[in-house]
Amino acid sequence: MNENRVNVAIIGPGNIGTDLMYKIINRSKFMNLKLMVGIYSNSEGLKRAHDLGIEASSNGIDTVLRDKSTKIAFDATTASAHLKNAPLLERAGIRAIDLTPAAVGPYVCPIINMDEHLNRPNINLITCGAQATIVIVAAISCVTKVKYAEIVATIASKSAGPGTRQNIDEFTQTTARALEVLGKAEKGKAIIILNPAEPPLIMRNTIYTVVEEQNKDKIVAAVEKMVKKVQEYVPGYRLRVPPIFDEDKVTTMIEVEGVGDFLPRYAGNLDIQTSVALAIGDRIAEKLVGEEAKSR
Amino acid sequence: MSCRSEHIRIVDTTLRDGSHAVKHQFTLEDVKSIASALDEAGVYGIEISHGDGLAGSSIQYGWALYSDEQRLSSASEVVKNNKIAILLIPGIGTKKDLQRAIEHGAKIARIATHVTEADISEQHIKMAKDMGLEVMTFLMLAHMESPGKVLEQAKLMESYGADVVYVVDSAGAMLPDDARARVGTLKEHLTVEVGFHAHNNLGLAIGNTLAAIQEGATVVDGTLCGLGAGAGNAPTEVLVAVLDKLSYKTDIDLYKIMDAAEDVMRPRMHRPQIIDMASLTLGYAGVYSSFLLHIYKAAERFKVEPLDILLELGRRKVVGGQEDMIVDVAYELSHRE
């Protein structure tokens, strides 16, 4: 292993896990993808990992737990699987970055609170809708008190997997809560819409806020600055409609196009999650590399 | 084909779909008067929710004057003989909202999804069934898909436990043969009852409902005076009169339902429920009826033509609930010049 990189594993070789695999291989500065594990030997994702020379196993999490060199594991399985995986990873001293809605660890957004949680055993990436919208609410919250934040996330039907579909309430409830906890809105509400149009539409997010002071110039500047920051780790994150003001209501619209590492470009909702995972994984890995160097 | 002595159940949705036409500003007194008149007349189901279902009160869809619980409690005080229904659209409302509605008197749960997205309703349908409710499910904007696709999705809802699966013409875009083809296919292949919900954008709300009934639909929707999104729904009082002339049984007193429309509903209407150019275009272009008043508002705000917004929405294939796209389109049109 390269001493400037940390060994990591992906649990769950589905669409998300596979996209994350390509992101780590192509874009990571501090991580070395050592392992890809699943539970089905005929998994397409495992086959792709194997073909890329990555150790691929269908023995599930046990392979990760036995591998003494792995420091970080990305869990791209399901909430119920992660609830079982989380304590096992913690006991093995492996940092868990959780892409499921299990929320064992704190909600983390790269821009808002990543550095507070770098030493946590478990980090949760909230929802795609939250990652796309809480940053805007947080930006506005820095200018004025946000009394209410409401977001509408519209995604292509094809990009919504069975997990999202069977637990759609989890999306709305978790996203609404993140608007309050990380966006600092006094009250949050979230709506999700699946649109089956062909060709599939690119992920869209509308962010409504009710603000205390309508400081238009400052709000517009804060939102534009925030969009640029997000673009550093989600290149396809774009301001579609800059803040529109109606009395105390501010409406902002965002489009998220994926970079197409593995998933189609319209699936910005999935790309933003794997991009966030990459950003957080790299930040933790950078810190671990630094600590390693110091102890040598 | 149906026999004339067949029993047809009517769900009146004045206090849900009709809510769009009053921008969700029903007072608790409106709720009590309307629900009481419907109950007196013998309407099987009386639907009470925000126009976009439970928890629909929002910036996106418009704030309601009172909460879902307040309106349900008021209705529960006066509805004695018939059932209170609610609408829930997964993605907007949640199981928690459903739970609260049941605590406030809901006896029929109507769970609605876009016509291709039935699988997001599984948990809500199962929960409502487990709690002893009658469950009617909606496949919205059903004109956008073929009868075969509608059937595929209807079978999912049936498998989750729906008692009735509705073909919902949310855009008022169907012609009678479109209604017949979808209802007929469902009737032939489902074991549960089939329902139909019409909109009047092409002037066919009653005609399509009748076509659906002739193909075997046994549960249909209406609103007093046709109050509803777009050009409105099938007027309940007209539906009762037509079904009475055809000797179908509805258990609704024709005179009482006519009085409810004329004396209770009509004085409370904010605007005449007519087919104007915009609502006709909704039907013609196949756009979700609830968008109408939001389109007028955005057209005024951004100084663009309502029809231009509407046609662009049709081109973008927006689905129910995407009211934010009205602002997006209006903003874009206003910046095009």
* pLDDT band for position A2 (cuts 50, 70, 90): low
Residue A144 has pLDDT above 50, yes or no: yes
The domain made up of B287-334 is a member of CATH 1.10.8.60: yes
Asked if the C-beta of B110 comes within 8 angstroms of chain A's C-beta atoms, the answer is no
Most A-contacting residue of B324, B328, B333 (CB-CB within 10 A), to test interface: B324
Contact B327 A241 (CB under 8 A): yes
Domains, chain A, ranges and CATH? 6-125+273-295 (3.40.50.720), 128-265 (3.30.360.10)
Asked if the C-beta of B1 comes within 8 angstroms of chain A's C-beta atoms, the answer is no
Asked if the C-beta of B122 comes within 8 angstroms of chain A's C-beta atoms, the answer is yes
Q: Which residue of B has its CA nearest to A250?
A: B59
pTM, two decimal places:
0.95
User: Where exactly are the structural domains of chain B?
Assistant: 9-268, 287-334
Contact B59 A150 (CB under 8 A): yes
- Helix (H) or strand (E) holding A173, with range, is helix A168-181
DSSP string, A231-285: HTT-TTEEEEEEEEEETTEEEEEEEE----SSS-TT-HHHHHHHHHHHHHHHHHH
Q: Which residue of A has its CA nearest to B326?
A: A206
AA letter at B260: A
Residue B1 has pLDDT above 50, yes or no: no
- pLDDT at res. A161: 86
- pLDDT at res. B4: 56
ipTM: 0.95
Contact A251 B327 (CB under 8 A): yes
Å from A193 to nearest chain B CA?
A: 6
Rounded distance between C-alpha atoms, residue B68 and residue B64, angstroms = 8
Å from A229 to nearest chain B CA?
A: 23
Q: Which residue of B has its CA nearest to A253?
A: B328
Number of inter-chain CB pairs under 8 A, A vs B: 89
Which residues in A179-212 are b (16+ Cβ under 10 Å) and which e? bbbbbbbeebbbbbbbbbeeebbbbbbbbbbbbe
Superfamily of domain B9-268: Aldolase class I (3.20.20.70)
Contact A168 B318 (CB under 8 A): no
- pLDDT at res. A205: 98
Å from A291 to nearest chain B CA?
A: 44
Residue A167 has pLDDT above 90, yes or no: no
Residue B2 has pLDDT above 50, yes or no: no
* Residue that has been written with the tokens 């279902």 in this structure: B53
Q: Which residue of A has its CA nearest to B98?
A: A169
Rounded distance between C-alpha atoms, residue A231 and residue B313, angstroms = 28
Q: Are strands A146-156 and A122-124 parallel, antiparallel or unpaired?
A: unpaired
Question: Which residues of chain A does B322 touch, with a Cβ-Cβ cutoff of 8 Å?
Answer: 152, 154, 193, 195
Angle between helices A168-181 and A128-141 (to 10 degrees): 20
Question: What is the average pLDDT across B100-107?
Answer: 98
